[in-house]
Chains A and B, each alone.
Chain A
Amino acid sequence: MSQNTASTTPDDRAETPSDTMVKVRDLKTYYDSGSLLEDRPVKAVDGVSFDIRRGETLGLVGESGCGKTTLGRTLIQLEEATDGEVLFDGTDITSLRGDQLYEWRQNAQMVFQDPDSSLNDRMTIGEIIREPLDVHDWKTPADRRKRVKSLLDEVGLSPEHYYRYPHQFSGGQRQRIGIARTLALNPEFIVLDEPVSALDVSVQAEIINLLEELQDEFDLTYLFIAHDLSVVRHICDRVAVMYLGNIMEIGPTEELFTDPANPYTHALLSAIPKPDPTASRDRITLHGTPPNPRYPPTGCPFSTRCPVRIRPDKHEDLDDEVWEGINGFREIIRERMRADRSIRERVRERFGLETRFATIDETYDELFGDTAVPDEVERVLTDVAEAAGNHEEQAALDRLNAEFGSVCDGVAPEGGADPVEPEYYEVSDSGRLSYCHRHDAEHRETETVLDDRS
């Protein structure tokens, strides 16, 4: 694995090849809560940069809530970008307005996940597929009807389905209708948002085959959003792995699947159950759930769950179990800080009565009860527990971070005041990028660490 410390973002990489269709640069999509009191936005997409080449299928994978759907919707302007650029053949579409946007929309379409809710039950199949043609005033009504019939044929339905209603079709057929509608205006670029997730496996295979055929026939470029990694591996040329609004790793599919570089990719791939009972089960089970995108952790977005988070030098040899306990403890305090407190609880707190937050000691025992914690560490943890017990969660977290934090948590190695973030490192000759401190020559690689621990 080559270890060139590349650039901070992928966009500074060598000249963009001429076959690039979509160029995304530092794109951010934030949702404001709209409340006067709460001004922290939800950072659904938090600064991503990548290219989509003409004719390729780029996969976008990640857990729910990681921002993959928002990213897909922002690319075709169904959501407004907060910051950054989306260049389609050189035009920044985030700045298009009115007629220009309306014109441009013909080029980019979307297939939705749930074929039950994305088709209007009161319209016939013909009307549904014809709608985009009507909206864009395409040729004459007779031409439109002809076009719809040829589209029906194209997606494996028959022209006599024109006058039927969606409820007369199965899930797979409905998805075909959705695809036909998408193709109506001859788009170049299609965002496929979980197009097969709601389908049975045998039907899923049919739709995947259809999508591949259509891509060949019409020179389509796909952004394929999915959480099912085996489907992605089958259909995509390149894959981007998202976590908490960031791209963690992006590169050619096979390479990424067989030799993942980022710890998150490692964990995600190992979690897929394989249809083979003899397969070894060296699953990396991640603890907890992704953090709230309104309150992302400082430093690396994956740091709160990362199985190979870098430890500060003086705790390098700490027992794994204690280390895990510390991580768990940190998560609990972080969560308590954000948990809603009812008025009743605030009042009880005020009068020193027992609340559901007052039981940190038991939680502490749960985590560290049966492990031998070194004295030095225990002293710090006791302080932390005390602060947390007094509802000074932020102080507790600061104390934890000062003692156990590392670059991953945003602690600058030279003691700088500003939190540091990971960089994109080029991890192979194909230009695959991974967003992780572990690729820095100073630290050991993810794989070595994982092997050591198992």
Chain B
Amino acid sequence: MAVEEESASGAAAADEARSDDPLIDVRNLQTAFFTDKETIRAVDGVDFQIDSGQTVGIVGESGSGKSVTARSLMGLIESPGRVLRGSSVRYRDLDAVREFAELFSKRTVAVEELAARYDPTEVFGATDATPAEFGHDDPADVPVVDVAAAGYTDEVGITDGDECVFVLDGDVDSPASIRDGFVEITRLSGEAQRKMRGGRIAMVFQDPLTSLNPVYTVGNQIEEALELHQGLSGKEATQEAAELLEAVGIPDARRRVNEYPHQFSGGMRQRAVIAMALACEPDMLICDEPTTALDVTIQAQILDLIAEIQESRDVAVMFITHDMGVIADVSDRVNVMYAGEVVESADVGPLFADPKHPYTNGLLDSIPGGQVGDKLSTIDGSVPTPNEPATHCRFAPRCPKAFDECESVHPVPTPVDEETDDHTAACLLYPDDVSTEEAVERHQEQDRRGDRQ
């Protein structure tokens, strides 16, 4: 397993250089589906980070946009949907940046060079970009890299839409010298997309049968992934495939590699899919409801397995589920989504001990178990379909705590009080240590989402 050691030492070097930075940095992610009838803004301005080795949970009801978020990260949004301009998902693993800079030198840019050609008044004049969406008042204050990553520089010809590797520090022509930079996931396409998807970020879906081909043996499918991403073939690949199956807890793996998906039970299939995902030694694993179709005893096995993999391989995990119990079990940090937006974000402990957003409270209260025999509390109404950019709180119509301003001011993620900085809620009630009027004012000021197509 020479490859693993090599990348491990590479990752260690990267850690030294910038341990504070997240592996994945999602900024203002917007994904919309355009049909003749309506536009559905499935993901509408989502920000979150995932550190390497961390598990970040995304929880919400159906229609909240959690799966579309995952698919946007994987580049799996198909027409009529697309990730909108202004979105940025930065992949910051230094190893990956160097690898991509080397493989795709034509698609790599040094941000310094961009800056030389960049004129803020031109860009902000010619496009629908607003300094507010980058958190500034003056166009001149907005760093060029943010504008370019969000895709606005394409329109004025500073970039041509093909660049996906941004180098902040180091020489573009000698990738080994790169010390800072990122791969912009929303701008990937073609070969670079394939390198990222599967090679760096792997995904496990809810229904293992949709990710397995019924006419090939399980071993065959893992070998395919090994060949694509690691260049293994023949006996070597078979050997490695069996080892992977063994690593995900499939007994009698050597016999199992030659079996077909239908000969596996549901839990075994999900293990096989996880083995396939691991075949390319990803830095990040996106799990989209991986245990929803499984029984609790099998779910327990799969959750144990994911935790074990994370520990032994130090991968970052983005875990999507609607089950609050599962989220509490697996996550380090939790993002609660509602109608395309992250409404609350906190470490798992504070989120469950002291949920702040009324929606999070509602979700937790409606789980049976707290109040035996009593009536269960419910959230009236249903999740709305976000068709327009948000101009107010989307939860307001169902919110027990809503007041007049909730219908006119759009809340932005805000620290829940002045002392805390890692627990945010998108609700006009927060921060809760200032008066409501002041809180509302702050939300109004910070609302940076422009009207954009």
Task: Answer yes or no: B116 CB below 8 A from chain A CBs.
Answer: no
Instruction: Please name the residue on chain B nearest to A272 by beta carbon.
Output: B296
A residues 256-307 near B (Cβ < 8 Å) are 267-268, 270-279, 281, 283, 285-289
| CB-based contact B382/A271 at 8 Å | no
State in angstroms the CA–CA spacing of A206 and B61 once bound together. Answer: 14
CB 8 Å contact bits of B224-246 with A (1 = contact, 0 = none) = 00000000000000000000001
| CB-based contact A170/B263 at 8 Å | no
| CB-based contact A209/B367 at 8 Å | no
Q: Chain B residues with Cβ under 8 A from A64's Cβ?
A: 266, 295
| CB-based contact B328/A275 at 8 Å | yes
Instruction: Please name the residue on chain B nearest to A269 by beta carbon.
Output: B296
| CB-based contact A285/B301 at 8 Å | yes
Q: Chain A residues with Cβ under 8 A from B322's Cβ?
A: 200-201
CB distance from B296 to the nearest CB of A (A): 4
Task: Known contacts A230-B369, A328-B251; decide if A273 and B325 are in contact (CB<8 Å).
Answer: yes
Q: Chain B residues with Cβ under 8 A from A201's Cβ?
A: 61, 322, 324, 363, 366-367
Task: Answer yes or no: B368 CB below 8 A from chain A CBs.
Answer: yes
Task: Answer yes or no: A357 CB below 8 A from chain B CBs.
Answer: yes
- Stretch of A13-21, A126-134, A333-341, A376-384 with 4 or more beta carbons under 8 angstroms from chain B: A333-341
State in angstroms the CA–CA spacing of A208 and B374 once bound together. Answer: 11
Contact of A271 among B297, B331, B373, B378 (CB under 8 A): B297
Task: Answer yes or no: A420 CB below 8 A from chain B CBs.
Answer: no
CB distance from B178 to the nearest CB of A (A): 38
Q: Chain B residues with Cβ under 8 A from A336's Cβ?
A: 252, 255
Q: Chain B residues with Cβ under 8 A from A362's Cβ?
A: 254
CB 8 Å contact bits of A227-244 with B (1 = contact, 0 = none) = 101110111000000000
| CB-based contact B325/A289 at 8 Å | no
Q: For the complex, count residues of A whose C-beta is within 8 A of B.
A: 54
Interface centre among A254, A276, A283 (most CB of B within 10 A): A276
State in angstroms the CA–CA spacing of A286 and B363 once bound together. Answer: 30
Q: Chain B residues with Cβ under 8 A from A328's Cβ?
A: 251
Instruction: Please name the residue on chain B nearest to A233 by beta carbon.
Output: B369
CB distance from A338 to the nearest CB of B (A): 10
Q: A208-B368, A209-B376, A356-B257 are in contact. List 8 more A-B contacts (CB 8 A).
A: A63-B296, A170-B382, A230-B367, A233-B368, A273-B299, A275-B364, A281-B329, A289-B268
State in angstroms the CA–CA spacing of A277 and B296 once bound together. Answer: 18
Contact of B258 among A170, A254, A356 (CB under 8 A): A356
Q: Chain B residues with Cβ under 8 A from A289's Cβ?
A: 265-268, 298
| CB-based contact B382/A172 at 8 Å | yes
Q: Chain B residues with Cβ under 8 A from A203's Cβ?
A: 61, 378, 382
Instruction: Please name the residue on chain B nearest to A196 by beta carbon.
Output: B368
State in angstroms the CA–CA spacing of A204 and B259 once bound together. Answer: 39
Q: Chain B residues with Cβ under 8 A from A371's Cβ?
A: none
Task: Answer yes or no: A430 CB below 8 A from chain B CBs.
Answer: no
Task: Answer yes or no: B2 CB below 8 A from chain A CBs.
Answer: no
Instruction: Please name the residue on chain A nearest to B379 by beta carbon.
Output: A202
| CB-based contact A202/B254 at 8 Å | no
CB 8 Å contact bits of B286-320 with A (1 = contact, 0 = none) = 00000000011111110110000000000000000
Task: Answer yes or no: A359 CB below 8 A from chain B CBs.
Answer: yes
Task: Known contacts A227-B295, A357-B255; decide if A273 and B328 are in contact (CB<8 Å).
Answer: yes
State in angstroms the CA–CA spacing of A276 and B327 once bound together. Answer: 9
| CB-based contact A212/B375 at 8 Å | yes
Binding site for B on A (CB under 8 A): 63-64, 170, 172, 200-206, 208-209, 212, 227, 229-231, 233-235, 254, 267-268, 270-279, 281, 283, 285-289, 328, 331-332, 335-336, 339-340, 356-357, 359, 362-363, 366
Task: Answer yes or no: B352 CB below 8 A from chain A CBs.
Answer: yes
Instruction: Please name the residue on chain B nearest to A63 by beta carbon.
Output: B295
Task: Answer yes or no: B285 CB below 8 A from chain A CBs.
Answer: no
Q: Chain B residues with Cβ under 8 A from A283's Cβ?
A: 300, 304
Q: Chain B residues with Cβ under 8 A from A285's Cβ?
A: 297, 300-301, 304
Instruction: Please name the residue on chain A nearest to B254 by beta carbon.
Output: A359
Instruction: Please name the residue on chain B nearest to A359 by beta carbon.
Output: B254
Q: Chain B residues with Cβ under 8 A from A205's Cβ?
A: 366-368, 376-378
State in angstroms the CA–CA spacing of A288 and B301 once bound together. Answer: 9
| CB-based contact B297/A286 at 8 Å | yes
State in angstroms the CA–CA spacing of A204 and B62 once bound together. Answer: 12
Q: Chain B residues with Cβ under 8 A from A279's Cβ?
A: 328
CB distance from B308 to the nearest CB of A (A): 11
State in angstroms the CA–CA spacing of A340 and B62 once bound together. Answer: 40
The bracket for how many chain B residues form the interface is 35 or more
- The 5 A-B residue pairs whose C-beta atoms are closest, nearest first, are A273-B325, A234-B368, A205-B376, A205-B366, A275-B324
Instruction: Please name the residue on chain B nearest to A342 by beta carbon.
Output: B258
State in angstroms the CA–CA spacing of A235 and B254 once bound together. Answer: 46
**Chief secondary structure at chain B's binding surface:** helix
CB distance from A255 to the nearest CB of B (A): 12
| CB-based contact B366/A271 at 8 Å | no
| CB-based contact A366/B246 at 8 Å | yes
Task: Answer yes or no: B447 CB below 8 A from chain A CBs.
Answer: no
Q: Chain A residues with Cβ under 8 A from B409's Cβ?
A: none
CB distance from B18 to the nearest CB of A (A): 29
Instruction: Please name the residue on chain B nearest to A200 by beta carbon.
Output: B61
Q: Chain B residues with Cβ under 8 A from A275's Cβ?
A: 324-325, 327-328, 352, 364, 367, 369
CB distance from A310 to the nearest CB of B (A): 21
CB distance from B332 to the nearest CB of A (A): 10
B residues 159-188 near A (Cβ < 8 Å) are none
Task: Answer yes or no: B405 CB below 8 A from chain A CBs.
Answer: no
State in angstroms the CA–CA spacing of A267 and B265 once bound together. Answer: 20
Task: Answer yes or no: B323 CB below 8 A from chain A CBs.
Answer: yes
Task: Known contacts A209-B376, A273-B326, A275-B352; decide if A230 and B246 are in contact (CB<8 Å).
Answer: no
CB distance from A209 to the nearest CB of B (A): 5
Task: Known contacts A209-B376, A230-B369, A363-B254; decide if A276 and B328 are in contact (CB<8 Å).
Answer: yes
| CB-based contact A63/B297 at 8 Å | yes
State in angstroms the CA–CA spacing of A170 and B376 once bound together. Answer: 20
Contact of B296 among A229, A278, A287, A357 (CB under 8 A): A229
CB distance from B37 to the nearest CB of A (A): 15
| CB-based contact A356/B255 at 8 Å | yes
Q: Chain A residues with Cβ under 8 A from B325's Cβ?
A: 230, 272-275
| CB-based contact B329/A273 at 8 Å | yes
| CB-based contact A271/B324 at 8 Å | no
A-B contact pairs, 14 of them (CB 8 A): A201-B322, A203-B382, A204-B366, A205-B376, A229-B296, A233-B368, A273-B329, A277-B348, A289-B266, A289-B267, A289-B268, A339-B263, A359-B254, A363-B255
B residues 75-112 near A (Cβ < 8 Å) are none
State in angstroms the CA–CA spacing of A227 and B292 once bound together. Answer: 12
State in angstroms the CA–CA spacing of A337 and B267 once bound together. Answer: 21
Interface centre among A229, A234, A277 (most CB of B within 10 A): A277
Interface centre among B296, B297, B372, B377 (most CB of A within 10 A): B297
| CB-based contact A363/B251 at 8 Å | yes
| CB-based contact A230/B349 at 8 Å | no
CB distance from A263 to the nearest CB of B (A): 12
Task: Answer yes or no: B362 CB below 8 A from chain A CBs.
Answer: yes
Q: Chain A residues with Cβ under 8 A from B301's Cβ?
A: 285-287
Q: Chain B residues with Cβ under 8 A from A254's Cβ?
A: 372
State in angstroms the CA–CA spacing of A202 and B378 once bound together. Answer: 5
Task: Known contacts A203-B382, A339-B263, A357-B255; decide if A234 and B296 are in contact (CB<8 Å).
Answer: no
State in angstroms the CA–CA spacing of A273 and B348 once bound together. Answer: 14
Q: Chain B residues with Cβ under 8 A from A273's Cβ?
A: 299-300, 303, 323, 325-326, 328-329
| CB-based contact A233/B372 at 8 Å | yes
State in angstroms the CA–CA spacing of A332 and B253 once bound together. Answer: 10
State in angstroms the CA–CA spacing of A206 and B304 once bound together. Answer: 32
| CB-based contact A206/B352 at 8 Å | no
State in angstroms the CA–CA spacing of A273 and B329 once bound together. Answer: 6
Instruction: Please name the residue on chain B nearest to A213 by beta carbon.
Output: B375
Task: Known contacts A201-B367, A328-B251; decide if A234 and B324 are in contact (CB<8 Å).
Answer: no
Instruction: Please name the residue on chain B nearest to A328 by beta carbon.
Output: B251
